[in-house]
């Protein structure tokens, strides 16, 4: 009998949470204006041109790998790449550091449906939960999994921590 009560209580809680979540949905999907799109493109272009974002050739040389090896890694989602239409592709230089690359790869491997620019900003923007540091600045070999959780949480992905 107790088990039945617990199960029915769980079911009604799930129904209530589902109802509350549905009530929070917007009636109409937000669509960016032309100004929003231009502003976003300008921000992406500015970041793309930062000196810490390297061309594939420069990145390969810095990593002591061939361009082909880097391109293979890109296709396998082992490297975060940034693209701006008509400007080619670049890779953030932080991926030359072992811990920062491991963090980046962990986020990329989650296949959470985020585009590379969203991942880039999630990794490079300061977060209050990391004492105002960016995940890239805060990560080291001993805290990679904790920083992964923080990053995923910052983009709205809740991990099953079991």
pLDDT in tens, 82-132: 999 888 999 999 999 999 999 999 999 886 788 999 999 999 999 999 999
Q: What is the rounded CA–CA span in Å between residue 84 and residue 115?
A: 13
Does residue 139 contact residue 147 with C-beta atoms inside 8 Å? yes
The pTM of this model reads 0.76
Please tell me which residue, 28 or 152, carries the higher pLDDT value. Answer: 152
Give the span between the Cα atoms of 20 and 42, in whole angstroms. Answer: 38
Angle between helix axes 116-124 and 98-109 (nearest 10 degrees) is 140
What's the confidence (pLDDT) of residue 17? 80
**E-assigned strands of 6-159?**
53-55, 82-84, 88-92
Lowest mean pLDDT among 2-6, 9-13, 104-108: 2-6
């Amino acid at each position: 009998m107790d088990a039945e009560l617990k199960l029915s209580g769980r079911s009604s809680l799930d129904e209530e949470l589902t109802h509350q979540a549905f009530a929070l949905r917007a009636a109409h999907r937000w669509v960016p204006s032309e100004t929003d799109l231009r502003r976003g493109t300008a921000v992406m272009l500015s970041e793309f041109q930062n000196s810490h974002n390297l061309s594939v050739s420069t990145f390969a040389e810095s990593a002591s790998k061939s361009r082909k090896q880097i391109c293979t890694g890109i296709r396998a989602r082992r490297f975060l790449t940034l693209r701006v239409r008509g400007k080619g592709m670049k890779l953030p230089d932080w991926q030359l550091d072992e811990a920062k690359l491991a963090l980046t790869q962990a986020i990329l491997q989650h296949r959470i449906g985020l585009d590379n620019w969203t991942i880039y900003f999630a990794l490079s923007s300061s977060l209050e939960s990391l004492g105002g540091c960016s995940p890239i600045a805060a990560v080291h070999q001993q805290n990679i999994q904790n920083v992964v959780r923080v990053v995923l949480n910052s983009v709205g992905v809740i991990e099953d921590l079991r």
